């Protein structure tokens, strides 16, 4: 039966065909121009003309290269194989119903010049459907900012990597900074900076922007990495940006990357790797539910660093958890970040030789007071030297969890594997792990929140802001010049839910230890290490951070002789007027179990000038008892 709606649709379609016939038939164009030929030169196409003269036109490119300097009119289909299309200008867009990049086909753009606040070039596709087949690529490698950018930092005598989604490697805290939007990234990566000798600075990654009303399929490669090179004593650029909007996203074994630049044969000598870039895929969660689970990998790792402070991972934003792979193998450094303020759910998560992170970073995409829940209906398993970074948002109040990781079954941390919970550096909100059970399998693995608490100028135990050095306090007081200016104690010994505070001095000082907070329905087995130490003073005449917190509630708590629990204050670098941090806080509440490991350690930091009083003091350790379910206590 033909409904009224279908009759109207048929009439419109017929009228469209008649109008097209009246105006002339659509044309199938084939590129026949020379290298770097002009898209808009009629003689570069066979038959003579320009795709887009009629909406039904198609364009096929099977060899050579094309320079696209302006936006052609929208047309039906663009297919490229064994050839390159290079975009120039920021507003230049390839507009077609379907865009397909086949084997050895490549879309790229020219390098960017930094003219604040905009850039000059990008790959920009506006289509209904975009497909990157195996062997095809959208390649914005090393075409970001060539000499500068918002993350290039100040010019000085120290080399450093460019920043963008993550910080660049540096010895100068004012350099390699993050910038731009994580949810809608459209910036190029910034270049690195070398020192004042003959060392080299290298370019950041470029910009890929895909605006599709239908499906985006990635079986090949989309790349916006910073430049690689073999030069030592150099600063490398950050990763660039890949921003995809679509109805649904799919792909099999494809890759999307915005990695920081690095030495081609790491580690090199005194090499400052670039920070990770930014990737965002904004799709319809409802439409995505009908798609098979994607196996596309997303990579925003920082560039490798030698002899300098490493850079940090960039950002990856999804609309929800449907694009998170359930098994992540051989992928070092991808950072999962959701701007959503609801619950993100996956059925399971297994890391095998992988390093990833997820959470909310300092850009604060979440609403104030609304916390993200990352829910795993099955198990969370780390194997083969994997690492998991968990970044908390800023909860209100700060004693609430900024991110909840909820694992219905077992959370298993294998030998040589680590989980790194990172507290919000200014607000102090931290991650809460709610698990069925937790097992740390080996002595060379565990949960590490060392130096991941409050940073300089933040934290209730940071001490007075003055030129005099004061160690951070938490469970114990930090070392100072008097009781009045030493880092003070705060928080609860029975329920420590805050991280440690930093030292304060005129020189760079140590950060407070973070917070490891675990609620297990059944058991916690610690055959490895749980640590939340404060950072030691980093230079002379500086101050160390306090120990952080460890707060565990479970049914059964046990562990063998390899088990370690510690939240020590940071040590003073020397006796030359450096100051030590106070001890942290540890509290373990359980119904039963035998822990054979060493006694929990929340001691003050070592060192410091003993002639300067008061010295730092130890933190607190509490062993609490939770009556088993069904227990009746009668007090007469």
* pLDDT at residue 362, as a whole number: 33
* pLDDT at residue 176, as a whole number: 82
Give the residue ranges of the chain where pLDDT is below 50: 1-23, 332-333, 335, 337, 339-341, 360-370
* pLDDT at residue 82, as a whole number: 97
* pLDDT at residue 399, as a whole number: 81
Query: 14: which residues sit within 8 A by CB, 6+ positions away?
Result: none
Do 578 and 607 form a contact (C-beta atoms < 8 A)?
Answer: yes
What is the DSSP annotation of 274-323? PPP-EEEEE--HHHHTTSPPP--EEE-PPPP-BSSB-----EEEESSGGG
* pLDDT at residue 364, as a whole number: 29
Do 126 and 98 form a contact (C-beta atoms < 8 A)?
Answer: no
In whole angstroms, give the CA distance from residue 391 to residue 496.
Answer: 18
Half-sphere exposure of 238 (CA within 13 A, CB side): 41
* pLDDT at residue 173, as a whole number: 52
Query: 484: which residues sit within 8 A by CB, 6+ positions away?
Result: 464
* pLDDT at residue 211, as a whole number: 98
* pLDDT at residue 361, as a whole number: 39
Residue 21 parent element (H or E): helix 4-23
**What is the Cα 360 distance to its own chain's centre?**
9
Would you tell me how many other CB atoms lie within 10 Å of the CB of residue 35?
11
Task: Provide the pairing of β-strand 549-553 with 207-212.
Answer: unpaired
Task: Provide the pairing of β-strand 372-376 with 343-346.
Answer: parallel
Name the residue ranges covered by the structural domains of the chain. 26-323
Do 578 and 572 form a contact (C-beta atoms < 8 A)?
Answer: yes
* pLDDT at residue 337, as a whole number: 47
* pLDDT at residue 630, as a whole number: 67
Q: Give this prediction's pTM.
A: 0.75
**Nearest of 586, 423, 600, 576 to residue 512 by alpha carbon:** 423
Task: Provide the pairing of β-strand 106-109 with 137-139.
Answer: parallel
* pLDDT at residue 14, as a whole number: 30
**Nearest of 206, 139, 161, 152 to residue 179 by alpha carbon:** 152
* pLDDT at residue 278, as a whole number: 93
SS3 for 201-218 is: ECCCCCEEEEEECCEEEE
């Amino acid at each position: 039966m033909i409904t009224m709606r279908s009759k109207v649709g048929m009439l419109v379609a017929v009228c469209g065909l008649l109008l097209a016939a009246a105006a002339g038939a659509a044309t199938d164009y084939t590129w026949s121009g020379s290298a770097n030929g002009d898209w808009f030169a009629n003689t570069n196409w066979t038959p003579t003309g320009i795709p887009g003269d009629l909406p039904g036109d198609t364009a096929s490119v099977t060899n050579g290269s094309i320079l696209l300097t302006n936006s052609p009119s929208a047309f039906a289909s663009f297919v490229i194989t064994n050839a390159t299309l290079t975009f120039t200008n920021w507003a230049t867009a390839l507009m077609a119903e379907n865009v397909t990049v086949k084997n050895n086909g490549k879309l790229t753009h020219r390098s960017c010049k930094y003219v604040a606040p905009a850039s000059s070039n990008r790959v920009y596709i506006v289509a209904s459907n975009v497909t990157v087949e195996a062997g095809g690529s959208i390649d914005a490698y090393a075409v970001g900012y060539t000499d500068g950018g918002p993350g290039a930092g100040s010019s000085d005598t120290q080399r450093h990597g460019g920043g963008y989604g993550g910080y660049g490697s540096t010895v100068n805290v004012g350099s390699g900074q993050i910038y731009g939007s994580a949810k809608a990234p459209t910036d190029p990566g910034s270049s690195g900076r070398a020192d004042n000798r003959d060392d080299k600075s290298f370019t950041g990654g470029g910009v890929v922007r895909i605006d599709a009303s239908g499906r985006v399929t990635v079986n090949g490669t989309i790349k916006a990495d910073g430049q690689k090179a073999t030069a030592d004593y150099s600063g490398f650029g950050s990763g660039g940006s890949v921003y995809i909007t679509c109805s649904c996203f799919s792909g099999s074994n494809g890759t999307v990357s915005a990695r920081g630049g690095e030495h081609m044969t790491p580690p090199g000598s005194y090499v400052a790797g670039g920070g990770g870039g930014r990737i965002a895929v904004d799709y319809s969660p409802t439409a995505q539910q009908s798609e098979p689970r994607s196996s596309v990998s997303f990579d925003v790792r920082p560039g490798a660093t030698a002899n300098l402070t490493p850079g940090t991972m960039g950002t990856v934003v999804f609309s929800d958890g449907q694009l998170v792979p359930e098994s992540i193998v051989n992928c070092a450094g991808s950072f999962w970040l959701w701007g959503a303020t609801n619950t993100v759910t996956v059925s399971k998560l297994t890391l095998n030789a992988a390093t990833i992170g997820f959470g909310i970073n300092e850009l604060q995409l979440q609403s104030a007071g609304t916390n993200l829940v990352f829910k795993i209906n099955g198990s969370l398993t780390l194997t083969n030297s994997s690492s998991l970074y968990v970044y908390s948002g800023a909860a209100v109040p700060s004693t609430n969890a900024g991110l909840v990781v909820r694992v219905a079954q077992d959370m298993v941390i294998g030998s040589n594997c680590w989980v790194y919970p990172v507290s919000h550096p200014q607000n102090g909100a931290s991650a809460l792990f709610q698990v069925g059970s937790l097992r740390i399998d080996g002595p060379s693995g565990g949960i590490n929140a060392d130096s991941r608490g409050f940073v300089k100028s933040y934290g209730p135990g940071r001490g007075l802001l003055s030129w005099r050095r004061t160690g951070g306090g938490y469970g114990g007081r930090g070392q100072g010049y008097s009781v009045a200016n030493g880092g003070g104690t705060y928080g609860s010994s029975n329920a420590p839910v805050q991280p440690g505070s930093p030292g304060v001095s005129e020189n760079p000082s140590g950060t407070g230890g973070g917070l490891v907070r675990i609620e297990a329905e059944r058991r916690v087995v610690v055959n490895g290490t749980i640590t939340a130490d404060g950072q030691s003073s980093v230079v002379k005449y500086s101050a160390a951070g306090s120990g952080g917190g460890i707060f565990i509630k479970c049914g059964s708590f046990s562990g063998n002789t390899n088990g370690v629990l510690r939240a020590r204050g940071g040590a003073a670098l020397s006796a030359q007027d450096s100051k030590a941090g106070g001890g942290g806080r540890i509290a373990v509440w359980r119904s039963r179990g035998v822990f054979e490991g060493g006694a929990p350690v929340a001691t003050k930091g070592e060192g410091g000038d003993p002639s300067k009083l008061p010295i730092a003091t130890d933190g607190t350790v509490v062993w609490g008892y939770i009556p088993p379910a069904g227990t009746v206590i009668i007090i007469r």
